[in-house]
Amino acid sequence: MKLQYQLTIAFTTLLIVIMTVTGITLYSQMLQMLIQDEQRQLEDKGELIVNFLLYEDLNSTYNVQRLAEMLDKYSLQVFAYDEGSDQIIFTSIADLQVIEKWVDRYDMDKAEQPLWQNGNEKYVVSIIPFYGAVSTQHLVLLTPLDDLQEVRQIIMERLLLIFFIGIAVAVLLSHYLTTKLVTPLTKLRHQLKKIEKRNFSEMEEIKATGEIKEVEQSLRDMANELNSFIQTQRHFFQNASHELKTPLMTIQGYAEGIKDGIFEGEEAKRGLNVMIEEINRLKKIINEIILLAKLDSEANIYEEEQVNLQEFIEQVMARAVPIANEKNISIELKNSVPYMVYFDYDKMLQAVMNIVANGIRHATHKVEVSVYAKNKQVIMEVRDDGEGIEEELLTKLFHRFVKGEDGETGLGLAIARAIVERSGGSIRATNHEEGGAVFQIRFVNFQKNTD
């Protein structure tokens, strides 16, 4: 069953249950409320009659006649009882035996009276005491319970009609609301199908709000990331095959030439040297590919430890200075901070050296290295004064086999990113406004060195 129908049924069922419980509660309490309301009305009418006849005696025929006119006006069933003479002095009820039975059975002096009963019939009663000429008299007003039950039945029929109208409106409203709710989910399902078939160019924005919009945005981000990953993998295999094929062809050409006697003497020697260089290059590429694969898949290859960042950066500088001197580049440590950071020492040293060596290779005169704390992060920054990074290269600089001018294997920065991310950090590259490239490694898992 579709989610839309499930939600509609759930909302409707919930409403039916609530309204049914409410209806049962009302039905059970309504008669009591009607009885109490009828008693109040009888009391009000009785007091009106008593106040009008307060100084009159019901033993008087004239007063009795006036009372009968009032009772006819209000359509009341009443009788009057004189406590002193123990007599019924007035009644609109024909059966005197029933009245006498009531007088004997019920206490006329109680303010709150139960339902009076005559056979199967029950009556709501209100008794208004007042004082006659010589004794206390009681005006007793009665309403048949059947009349109130008829009123209750009429009210419940109307409530039942309202109930069915409410159910119909609720079904239509819940159907409308669930349609608005489910439609974006259905579109999300179609978007997932597009991702499954890798039709990333056909992805569309879904109009939604709240959590569904957040899911839709996450889905689009995931699709973009997946598309980027697939493109990176495709470029990786293309570039890897090219990077491996070129030295292999060179080695094959020289090997066949030496075998067939085409290269002899010094030429053969030069060919052997080229073959050794290409083999070393192949070995380096393969080792870096293996390292990347292990960083992606093996958990135990990365052994995190607490490292003194100041001592670490000194080791980086000690290794970087000879490389910079060979290129006639000045390298300077501007500042460092005493923090303890968590990462794999050897792997991070390799990552940072890849970045520093890249800066030295592209610098014109100098490279600056600095470490500082900012926005609850420790930042390691390497800046050169070269020409900077091409804008189109910035977005894919850390992808595998992506290299700029004078690049080597195109894997150094990819390895650096993989190592930094395994440490819970991040790496980014930008162009400085004064010229040159800036690489930043950011760590969030650190503490201040108190030694």
Exposure b/e, 235-262, CB count within 10 A at least 16 = b: bbeebbeebeeebeebbeebeeebeeee
Residue 14 neighbours by CB distance under 10 Å: 12
Is a pLDDT exceeding 60 seen at residue 407? Answer: no
Provide the pLDDT for residue 35.
85
- Based on the fold, state whether residues 317 and 404 are members of the same structural domain: yes
Measured distance CA(193)–CA(402) in Å, rounded: 31
Looking at per-residue pLDDT, the higher value among 380 and 233 belongs to 380
Domain tally, the chain: 3
pLDDT of residue 240: 65
| Averaged pLDDT score across all residues of the chain | 80
Query: DSSP assignment, residue 234?
Result: H
Q: Which of the residue ranges 14-28, 315-329, 340-354 would you say has the lowest mean pLDDT?
A: 14-28
CATH code of residue 104: 3.30.450.20
Q: 55 pLDDT exceeds 60?
A: no
- One domain, residues 129 and 256: no
CA dihedral 397, 401, 404, 406 (to 10 degrees): 140
* 373 & 417 share domain: yes
Give percent above pLDDT 70 in the chain.
87
pLDDT for res 406:
57
Q: Do 20 and 128 sit in the same domain of this protein? A: yes
The Cα 231–Cα 223 span in angstroms is 12
Average pLDDT over residues 290-318: 79
Identify the domain boundary among 297, 315, 340.
297
pLDDT greater than 80 at residue 418: yes
Q: Among 134, 151, 168, which residue terminates a domain?
A: 151
Greatest mean pLDDT among 260-264, 382-386, 387-391, 443-447 lies in 382-386
Q: What is the pLDDT of residues 253-295, one digit of tens each?
A: 888 888 888 877 888 888 888 888 888 878 877 777 777 777 6
Residues 271 and 316 in one domain: no
pLDDT of residue 227: 78
Asked if the model's pLDDT at residue 401 lies above 60, the reply is yes
- Cα 99–chain centre separation: 72
Q: So what's the pLDDT on residue 330?
A: 92
> Residue 23: its pLDDT value, please?
81
Q: Answer whether residue 6 shows pLDDT above 80.
A: no
